[in-house]
Amino acid sequence: MDRANPAFAAVRCHLACVLLVSTALFANAVDAQEASKSPADIPVEVFAALPGFTGAQMSPDGKYMSFFLEQNGVSNLVIQPLDGGGGIMIPPEGGTSFLDHRWANENFVLLNAAATLKRRVFRGKTTETRWFAYDIRKDRTRWLGNPGKSDGRYASQHERIVDMLPDDPDHILMQLDMELDGKSTVYRVKLKTGSHRKVEGQHRGIQNWYTDATSEVRLGTGYNGDTWTTRIRNEDDDWVNLAKTDWAKRFDVAGFTEDFSRIFVTGRGDTGLENLYELDLATGEVSEPVFAHPDVDIDYVFESPLTGRVEGVVFTDDFTQRHYFEATKARIQRGLDKALPNTTNTILNHVPSKDWYFVLVESDTSSGEYFLYDRPNRSLQFVAAMRPDVDPSLMASTEPVTIPVRDGSTIPGYLTKPHGKDLKNLPTIILPHGGPYGVRDNARWDYEAQFYASRGYLVLKPNFRGSGGYGSAFQAKGANQWGGLMQDDVTDATKWLVDQEYADPERVCIVGSSYGGYAALMGTIKEPGLYKCAISLNGVANLVKIKRDDKRNTIGGSSWTKRMGLKDVEDELVSPHHQAERVSAPVLLMATQDDARVPWTQSSEMHKRLKKSGKESEFVKIEEGTHYMVTAKSRLVALKAAEAFLAKHIGE
């Protein structure tokens, strides 16, 4: 083990060990399915568990398969030779969790991990990320962002890979902020040694850097105080502040073409949705749409990990999907969709030497299955299920719905109906998403919605104004509407379910996390009698405090907090903490102690305020799991507490 990486350890596990783990995983799945004759029989542990097999990739030479394998509630990375040789299992150290991994070349795997830390240079806790390089030949892991001990620099709070340098497999480009001053520097990092060489220095207000198709740093974005800043390097090698161009007021940079004089941009089309265009940097002229979806925004462009060139766009209708510009992959995508017509099929990576493709297949009742498409032999082979202990035949279906709201317009949403139940007077959970801005729900398999549905509850996930994906005007309507229009949309969605006689009006509970937790609490304040209970998980309870903390402690916080709260209304009037005496239903508050986004004390203090006001309140403190509930243990605690609370207040 390389001493430069004290946080991680690599554990060699022979093939028999890996197969034993995999066999046990799938055997447990069979046992669980045989024992579960109906959704209600499925143990809560099945829903709380992390995906058993996920993130599958192939090495560039096709000799290895890598994937995350869940053991005891923790995801470990497994690197498995396809020739039957010894495999390697790499676990995260305590307090960290893996986020991602990717192959740099046939000898190095890059690992991304996160941890919640408390450092003296920051106020409160922070979620920090690190990138590590695992050397397969030497069985050694090295921290690539290590600042060293001689120069007194800090470790960067967030490490990010800027470019994989496809033409230089021994190096990558990384951005690091060693000074912790909100100005990132780009370094060329050698995978073998972890040595750094500066490529692009700091620019005021730039936190994120991007490269063009030739791996040259060409774009920087970030916050300069409360002003969003974008700088681009032109053909003359000068950095141009896009705030001084006319076109940047209407379009955002999305990626680079192979022509230095033209870039990809996104902007609002005639329908109000975000489309993709090409823009001439010299003239500011914009092409006809390169891609425009009739119903939703494009999410982003994506690049080939092998070449760094833009390959297509990602968009989300009911599922997140890819549209390829590159002809070969577009043809393969059409073939997959024809062969598997009732699922969403995503090409994950490609092994050029063998012309193999890893494919993820998903639906509303399946969290995902991995297949290997062997193009020369025209075969599609099943590899593994992400959640082998989940039987899709017992899962609830999720359907899109269009919901009328009080101003005469409509909002989209998703309805998850309990398996085998008639859509009539069902106990119901309203599940508004977090964010709130730019985030949206879709029809993908969701462990929370599926768990509640398995217990007989109808689940509605409304995409209220402020949600992303439906055009900039739809999202903009949520600005400064905490406790206002966004809350009214959730209310109208609830009343619509009751009016349709889908929901039993005497058995409706509102449940949410983060902003969704805020909406759950505000629902009981603003709409007395509509909700019979509320659950807030890591929810914003004290709007006044979180706005103050965000302005003080976060880069760009003084900008986005301008959208928080309700226009022309004092924050205290739409802050659940300050309006605790108006809560009209029993409340369950849950929070993780290592939440670096919304401190757990927001929930504990809300609980005290409710009890002092004579309200029915329960509080569950969860040891760890972060704001995003990344551990099976934290999910299990939350689901068990929610199950008992719901059964008490809106159960049969």
Residues 74-108 have pLDDT tens digits of 889 999 998 877 889 999 877 788 999 999 999 99
Residues 545 and 582 in one domain: yes
Rounded CA separation 37/56 (Å)? 30
Tell me the average pLDDT of the chain.
90
Question: At residue 206, does pLDDT exceed 70?
Answer: yes
Q: What is the pLDDT at residue 156? A: 76
Q: Is residue 111 part of a domain?
A: yes
Residues 450 and 566 in one domain: yes
Q: Is residue 58 part of a domain?
A: yes
Question: At residue 141, does pLDDT exceed 60?
Answer: yes
> What is the 3 state secondary structure string of 139-182?
CEEEECCCCCCCCCCCCCCECEEEECCCCCCCEEEEEECCCCCC
Question: At residue 158, does pLDDT exceed 90?
Answer: no
Q: Output the six-digit token pair for 573.
A: 């009037």
Domain of 95 in residue numbering reads as 1-143+346-388
Q: Output the six-digit token pair for 201.
A: 């220095």
Q: Output the six-digit token pair for 153.
A: 């620099």
Q: What is the pLDDT at residue 115? A: 82
Residues 407 and 357 in one domain: no
Q: Is residue 243 part of a domain?
A: no
Cβ neighbours of residue 260 closer than 8 Å, sequence gap 6 or more: 212, 235
Nearest C-alpha neighbor of 101 from the set 62, 137, 70, 59:
59
Nearest C-alpha neighbor of 367 from the set 453, 447, 450, 445:
445
Q: Is residue 538 part of a domain?
A: yes
Residues 424 and 446 in one domain: yes
pLDDT tens string 530-587:
999 999 999 999 999 999 998 888 878 888 888 999 999 999 999 999 999 999 999 9
At 221, the pLDDT band (50, 70, 90 cuts) reads: very high
Residue 596 belongs to domain with CATH number:
3.40.50.1820
- Of 366, 388, 410, the last residue of a domain is 388
Q: Is residue 195 part of a domain?
A: no
* 515-526 vs 485-499: helix crossing angle, rounded to 10: 70
Residues 4 and 53 in one domain: yes
- Of 359, 388, 417, the last residue of a domain is 388
Residues 424 and 452 in one domain: yes
Rounded CA separation 326/305 (Å)? 13
Rounded CA separation 419/576 (Å)? 35
Residues 583 and 493 in one domain: yes
Point out which residues pair with 188 in neighbouring strands: 173, 197
Q: Is residue 448 part of a domain?
A: yes
- Of 324, 354, 388, the last residue of a domain is 388
Ranges of H-type helices in 456-501: 472-476, 485-499
Q: Is residue 318 part of a domain?
A: no
Residues 384 and 409 in one domain: no
Q: What is the pLDDT at residue 34? A: 52
Cβ neighbours of residue 156 closer than 8 Å, sequence gap 6 or more: 145, 147, 176, 177, 178, 180, 184
Rounded CA separation 117/119 (Å)? 6
Residues 368 and 447 in one domain: no
Q: What is the pLDDT at residue 7? A: 30
Residues 449 and 356 in one domain: no
Residues 450 and 364 in one domain: no
Residues 374 and 512 in one domain: no
Give the total number of structural domains in the chain.
2
Q: Is residue 292 part of a domain?
A: no
pLDDT tens string 363-380:
999 999 999 999 999 999
Question: At residue 597, does pLDDT exceed 60?
Answer: yes
Question: At residue 25, does pLDDT exceed 50?
Answer: no
